[in-house]
Amino acid sequence: MLTKRIIPCLDVTLDEAGGTVVKGVEFLDLRKAGDPVELAKRYNEQGADELVFLDITASHEGRDTMIDVIQRTANEVFIPLTVGGGIGSVERIREILRAGADKVSINTAAVKNPQLVREGADIFGSQCIVVAIDCKRNTDVENNPDKTIIELEDGSRVWYEVVIYGGRKRTGVDTVQWAKKVEELGAGEILLTSMDRDGTYDGFDLPITRKLSEELEIPIIASGGVGGPEHMQEGFVEGKADAGLAASIFHFGEYTVDDVKKHLRKNNVPVRP
């Protein structure tokens, strides 16, 4: 098994403070978790392998990502930083990378304009382009024979629908088919978030995580639902993910990055020092 990455996620909204980390449940009922720069410094010191910074209302509000907060965050951390939210053009990708990001995460804009993935990969390299896929279970399998039907743990059958604008809009797009397409377009990595599990502390959505991990060649970052180190373990062992992303357990002091890594080492899941 290859070394697995632990990635804290900073979901940031623009407010009177200039940017605040928040966390909700299924993308709703957001509560404040702190200053993004201070949290980034904390996770850098705890031994996080990477950080993800998501401006979660930029696309919905039709505005650009918070450049100044990104610059301040990048100046304080010495691990790879991925930035997403409101990135809709090659020029914007260039601006984010110049601000100090190592990678950009594209979600809504990629669905609306898939060629942006190809253009970004051609210009900046696939290693810089992460496609974020937010998905939600859809139980209407009878009327969707063209979708990838997945059997859940309880034997029920669903397909996973891509949602955009921070989970506010369904697209009718099949998650597995979309993931394969962006891989072909040149994406270097996929950040997969199950909206059904987001903030629930119930663990990753293992069926869709495992499906993408098995069918794609590029790395899959599992996201949504981590309530403790054992969920990270499940994501790597059962979900076959390459990296695990979490927010709530780190932001609110329930676990540190080191706590998670110690648990994984104890259970023979290889992680970086």
Catalytically active residues are: 11, 134
| Residues in contact with 150: Cβ distance below 8 Å, sequence separation at least 6, in sequence order | 157, 158, 159, 160, 176, 207, 208, 211
Residue reference for tokens 């062992």: 237
Distance separating alpha carbons of residues 112 and 133, to the nearest angstrom = 13
Rounded Cα–Cα distance for residues 83 and 106 (Å) = 9
- Axis-axis angle for helices 257-266, 36-46 (nearest 10): 30
Q: Of all helices (H) and strands (E), which one includes residue 221?
A: strand 220-223
* 164 sits in which H/E element: strand 157-164
81-84 vs 51-55, strand pairing mode: parallel
Counting other chains too, the contacts that 90-95 makes at CB distance below 8 Å and 24 or more residues apart are: 90/116, 90/119, 90/120, 90/123, 92/64, 92/65, 93/120, 93/123, 93/124, 93/128, 93/129, 94/123, 94/124, 95/67
Q: H-helix or E-strand containing 28?
A: strand 28-34
Beta bridge partners, 245, equal 7, 223
268 Cβ partners below 8 Å, 6+ apart?
none
